[in-house]
Structure 1
Amino acid sequence: MEHNPGMNLRFKAFLDNESQDSVELALNYCGIEECRPGYFHSPPKRSIYLIHIILRGKGTLEIEGQTFHLGENDAFLIPPYRKGSYQADREEPWVYMWIGFSGLKAYECLTKAGFGQQRLVRQVTCTERLHEIIRRMLEIPQLTLVNELRRNSMMQWFLSELIEEYQTLYKTQDTYPYSAAAYVSYAKEFLVENYNRKVRVDELADRIGINRSYLAKSFKKLMGCSPQQFLVNLRMEKAVGMLKNTDLPVNQIAAQVGYENPLTFSKIFKQRYGISPKNYRESAASFPTAQNDCVE
């Protein structure tokens, strides 16, 4: 991007690469500018998404017949191949930062951040964090693979801040990008690997990035039981194996399958099999091996 003589330069730098629209997400350029009073700019149509965030001052955006009077903490989007122009206020010219990016996931990220083809403007409150990300990107302008990877990771962090803030402020319901089966598979694998630890279903859902009710509903539909029931059944299966094949005391077996209190373990075991762990061990030959079949 060329230097504009209409700019009163406070801090301005940029990175320019418009050949990455085939990857998932890629930074094309970014910068921070302080405009002179009344400065007018009409960038050419480009194949990228361009976001400006106003740090202070005022100005006007015009895009395809729409006019927006914008000020501090406003953000505006110019989508690919759409003609827009913007002008700084003559009394309080704006200072803004901008970021241009492209890629196969660019539009999806923008919609989750509150933008779209018809939603071109939104308020932003996390300007300090976004400003810091842009500033850090501008500190590594060298065109090396290492710096390109770092800049792209920062650009993704920039978008994640916009998405998280929008979802928090406007209480939007996130649509999950993966199938229910993928989340259930992850949850099942986590439970199998961590059955001997204290596991809370809400913490597991948070770890995955979904809410508890969605996890429970999906798990029940695909596995025939809740995550908690699956965990209990898994623990009982492991306990049965140890009762049959080891001489470990019951309290140690309880601890090894995730129960801090041996009495709690014994109570759950008896509810499942109708007999205490001690009596089960003594009569193990007459009991079939337990299966983690999610039977309620």
Structure 2
Amino acid sequence: MVELTRKASGHSTGFKRFYSPRPLVSPEITVRGIGIREQMPPCQIQRPQGTGDFLLMVFHDPASASTQSSWDVVQPEETMMIWPPRCGQYYGNSHKRYCHSWIHCDGARVRKIIRESKVSVRHPFVVGNSACFEQCLAEVHRELVSYVRPDAVIVGNLLENCLRDLVRRQNADSGLERVPDGLLKVRQLISEAPAREITLGQMAALAGMSIPNLSLRFKQVFGVSPVECLIQHRIHHAAHLLANQNLTVTEVGQLVGYDDPFHFSKMFKKHYGFSPRAMRQRELRT
């Protein structure tokens, strides 16, 4: 099931999908669901018995995360939490809206990856920059919906590379430098409203930086330039919107900021390797 909603303002409220039937089920790895920047209302999620799989989650806004019901400590933004199977899951923010990305997965390969990467389990930790986690989830989703038989090795490699990168950066500097508020404002604007027409100059003004400094610092922190980040969010959001059969391909392009259907198709194919129409057909086969 795909759940895609938009606020009255036109801002995206995130993406989540629980796969039914699951496109990849093997002793090595199985994925039950994925969420990318899902927006949540003020709430507290309480699952005393947890779930039957691993839940890997990154909070993009301040929120609590624990394995016990006494979980009143609010963690800073860009905090990750990993819950093992059948472990109590308590998280959220009862006072403010929050945004999070997550994946439900399990299998022998997943357990080995988590064990050998030595990533923290049951205890929240600050990742500083969650861009690689979001990219990982997007690529895993792409693998699951783009092929009749998704490759468990590819999915496992994506998860392993992501977790190893997070652990490496965490070990390199346990006191990770806080991401400047100006850069966070620009990324938030891009992620919440990818269809909005915004120039590099407007982004720089929002960040309180010069254009060269914004371009340099943004890429240092998030791994891509501001313009590349905007294109990625547009194309990823378009891929999710294509699951809605009530929208034409042209309408999907317009919703993510591409009024020219030919330009939209060109940018989409450049990113995914096939056209929006081909992506829709692949979605229908899963």
* TM-score, reference length from structure 2: 0.47
Q: Which has the higher contact order (CA 8 A, sep 6+)?
A: 2
